[in-house]
Amino acid sequence: MPPLGHSFTCALILTVTLPVVAMARPNVVVIIGDDMGWPDFGFMGNDRVITPTLDKLSAEGVTFTHGQLWSSLCYPTHHEFLTGVRDEEWFGGIRAAPTLPRLVRTGRVLTYPDGTQHRVESRYRTWQAGKLWEYSPSDWGFREHAPEPFDPKNPARRGDAQWGRDGWTVERCGAMKTEKRSCPATRAWRDFLASSDWGRDRFFAVFTPEIPHSPSNPPQQYRDLYKDVDGLVGFQKTHYPMTTWFDELVWEILRPLELRGLEDDTLVLFFADNGLNSEVYLDPFNPEKNRGKASLSSLGMRTPFVFRWPKGTKRTAGKRYDDLVDLSDIFETLARVTGSDPKLRRVPPTGKHILRRLRRGKQLSRKEVIAQVGDASLQTFGRIVTTPEWRYVQDIKHDREELYAIDIDPREEHDLAPEAGDDVLDTFRDMIDDWVEEAL
């Protein structure tokens, strides 16, 4: 066991907010996949899954291959992405929180040398489509959205049928990039894009379709693509066709930008809300066996973050970085790139923007990410320390510890905790204790 040294520091030490980088403000499109494991993309090295749109997005943009989520379920991921913090109750609830859609509408507060302040409006129109939990789009701060977004009879789970799944049936939309069709799921999006010439105004759009989430029932056209692919096991036989279906959905979202000449002026971000096990599907609510969704494993909590912005990332297009980037960094980056001010929040920012990495390749300084997953009332409850080399898991629910050398064992197949000894494990235990005292 190599020595850990003394370079580890608490992940949430508060930092001084850096100046906003001067640049033209882009439109922003965020696409969040539903239940997609980090090994299950072509651009992540999987040569059996067919994801041409996402592969192209990665080739034309910047990919952070070791993105870190703070949970392995969609509910907290959506909340944490839009608020930048782990607990929106710090703000008194979602309706009072300075979410990303509210920040991009509000803009920045400029302080002049004489101490006077002036609020600058960002002029972003905000639009949302897909599932969210518990609240309507307006509760989150979105002013425009796809039709029929909220079912008052089922307020816990929000997402209209078209953007959840029904709007992507091949019977209604065709298949495999057929342009001569009127797909229900993209009609509202195309109408929104047609509503402005996008000169002075900009748009901030978030898509959360419920694909490739179960049930795994891909159309036959996508199943046929995998007839000659050898070695597929278990859920891969249906999940990979579902993933290709999602990949085409991404094409449907991005194609109107190309047709309207908006590609260069639009920052596109893709990531997944949580993962699945890429070898065999395991019950996500049986944590004794599960290593994917709803677990403490990196197969459930790691995701690639893919940024594409042709005008803003020309120097770094096609780059792949293994920096540790988490949702607080994503929040900070999107707030800054839209000309918003994260300091408008009533809690100090915990993340660091990654614009210099995106634009110039400058190395990031984050050394670890610490997260708490679940709580004592849930089947999954634990705390995790992730560094570039190590992943320490403190499974509170089952009173056990795990340690993985993730730089050589990324799927966490070999638990080193039993042989590590307390002198090694105490380093991670102390980091969590310090983090709990400071952050929770």
- pLDDT of 162 strictly over 60: no
Residue 71, pLDDT score: 87
pLDDT digits (tens, 9 = 90+) for 83-130: 888 765 556 677 878 889 998 987 666 666 677 766 666 689 999 988
| Residue 142 vs residue 154, higher pLDDT | 142
Task: Give the model's confidence band at 9: pLDDT under 50 very low, under 70 low, under 90 confident, else very high.
Answer: very low
Q: Which two tokens stand for residue 436?
A: 């709990």
User: How many percent of the chain have pLDDT more than 90?
Assistant: 40
Residue 160, pLDDT score: 43
The predicted model gives 336-357 an average pLDDT of 74
Backbone angles phi, psi at 21, to 5 degrees: -75, 130
The single-letter DSSP state of residue 52 is H
The predicted model gives 174-199 an average pLDDT of 74
Residue type, 53: T
Q: Do residues 288 and 236 both lie within one domain?
A: yes
Domain presence at residue 130 = yes
Query: Which range scores top for mean pLDDT: 11-15, 96-100, 271-275?
Result: 271-275
| Residue 376 vs residue 398, higher pLDDT | 398
Dihedral-angle region of residue 48 (phi above 0 means left; psi in -120 to 50 means alpha; beta otherwise): alpha
The single-letter DSSP state of residue 227 is T
User: In sequence order, which ranges of 127-231 are alpha helices (DSSP H)?
Assistant: 137-140, 161-164, 170-173, 184-193, 220-224
How far apart (Å, rounded) are the C-alpha atoms in residues 154 and 50?
Answer: 35
Backbone angles phi, psi at 121, to 5 degrees: -75, 140
Contact 18, 342 (CB under 8 A): no
312: closest CA among 11, 28, 106?
Answer: 28
CATH number of the domain that 397 lies in? 3.30.1120.10
How far apart (Å, rounded) are the C-alpha atoms in residues 139 and 125?
Answer: 16
- pLDDT of 6 strictly over 50: no
Domain presence at residue 145 = yes
Domain closes at, from 310, 340, 363:
363
CATH number of the domain that 339 lies in? 3.40.720.10
Residue 46, pLDDT score: 92
Domain presence at residue 147 = yes
Burial of 440 (0-12, 13-18, 19+ CB in 10 A): exposed
Match 């944490």 to its residue by tokens: 80
Residue type, 151: D
Contact 96, 102 (CB under 8 A): no
| Residue 302 vs residue 6, higher pLDDT | 302
Q: Do residues 115 and 247 both lie within one domain?
A: yes
Task: Give the model's confidence band at 427: pLDDT under 50 very low, under 70 low, under 90 confident, else very high.
Answer: very high
Q: Examine residue 76 and say whether the peptide bond preceding it is cis (omega within 30 degrees of 0).
A: no
Q: Do residues 379 and 392 both lie within one domain?
A: yes
- CA dist 12 → 84, 348, 352, 426, 431 (Å): 12, 10, 11, 19, 11
Q: Enumerate residues 6+ apart whose C-beta is below 8 A from 252.
A: 173, 183, 185, 186
The sign of the dihedral angle between the CA atoms of 286, 291, 293, 294 is positive
Contact 308, 21 (CB under 8 A): no
Contact 94, 140 (CB under 8 A): yes
Query: Which range scores top for mean pLDDT: 97-111, 182-196, 221-235, 407-421?
Result: 407-421
Q: Do residues 295 and 388 both lie within one domain?
A: no
Residue 85, pLDDT score: 82
Q: Do residues 188 and 117 both lie within one domain?
A: yes
Strand partners, 400: 395
Domain closes at, from 346, 363, 380:
363
- pLDDT of 144 strictly over 80: yes
Residue 344, pLDDT score: 53
Domain presence at residue 380 = yes
Q: How large is the angle between the packed helices 74-83 and 327-337, nearest 10 degrees?
A: 40
| Residue 14 vs residue 148, higher pLDDT | 148
Strand ranges in 161-240 using DSSP code E only, listed in sequence order: 202-208
In the predicted model, what is the mean pLDDT of the chain?
Answer: 80
Q: Do residues 206 and 58 both lie within one domain?
A: yes
Residue 62, pLDDT score: 96
How far apart (Å, rounded) are the C-alpha atoms in residues 183 and 170?
Answer: 9
| Residue 218 vs residue 414, higher pLDDT | 414
Residue 186, pLDDT score: 78
Q: Do residues 321 and 404 both lie within one domain?
A: no
Strand partners, 120: 108
- pLDDT of 167 strictly over 60: no
Among 62-76, 234-248, 348-362, 408-422, name the one with the lowest average pLDDT.
348-362
Among 92-96, 133-137, 279-283, name the one with the lowest average pLDDT.
279-283
| Residue 173 vs residue 70, higher pLDDT | 70
How far apart (Å, rounded) are the C-alpha atoms in residues 211 and 165?
Answer: 7
Q: Do residues 185 and 252 both lie within one domain?
A: yes
- Domain extent, residue 410, equals 367-440
- CA dist 183 → 173, 188, 270, 436 (Å): 5, 9, 22, 48
Q: How many domains does the chain have?
A: 2
Q: Do residues 212 and 164 both lie within one domain?
A: yes
Domain presence at residue 47 = yes
Domain presence at residue 13 = no
The single-letter DSSP state of residue 307 is E
Count CB atoms within 10 A of the CB of residue 361.
13
The predicted model gives 162-172 an average pLDDT of 52
Among 94-103, 154-163, 207-216, name the one with the lowest average pLDDT.
154-163
How far apart (Å, rounded) are the C-alpha atoms in residues 433 and 426?
Answer: 10
The predicted model gives 35-42 an average pLDDT of 92
Residue type, 397: K
Residue 112, pLDDT score: 63
Domain closes at, from 320, 339, 363:
363
How far apart (Å, rounded) are the C-alpha atoms in residues 84 and 348?
Answer: 10
Task: Give the model's confidence band at 440: pLDDT under 50 very low, under 70 low, under 90 confident, else very high.
Answer: low
Q: Do residues 356 and 389 both lie within one domain?
A: no
Contact 11, 187 (CB under 8 A): no
Residue 420, pLDDT score: 94
How far apart (Å, rounded) are the C-alpha atoms in residues 428 and 281?
Answer: 31
86: closest CA among 418, 322, 350, 358?
Answer: 350
User: How many percent of the chain have pLDDT more than 70?
Assistant: 76
Backbone angles phi, psi at 145, to 5 degrees: -165, 170
Match 């072509």 to its residue by tokens: 42
pLDDT digits (tens, 9 = 90+) for 381-401: 999 999 999 999 999 999 999
The single-letter DSSP state of residue 193 is H
- pLDDT of 143 strictly over 50: yes
Q: Do residues 290 and 371 both lie within one domain?
A: no
Q: Do residues 319 and 237 both lie within one domain?
A: yes
- Length of the chain, please? 440
Domain presence at residue 20 = no
Domain presence at residue 7 = no
How far apart (Å, rounded) are the C-alpha atoms in residues 172 and 208?
Answer: 20
| Residue 83 vs residue 164, higher pLDDT | 83
Among 26-40, 59-73, 99-113, 171-185, name the one with the lowest average pLDDT.
171-185
Residue 56, pLDDT score: 97
pLDDT digits (tens, 9 = 90+) for 217-263: 888 888 999 999 988 877 788 889 989 988 988 998 999 999 999 99
Count CB atoms within 10 A of the CB of residue 360.
11
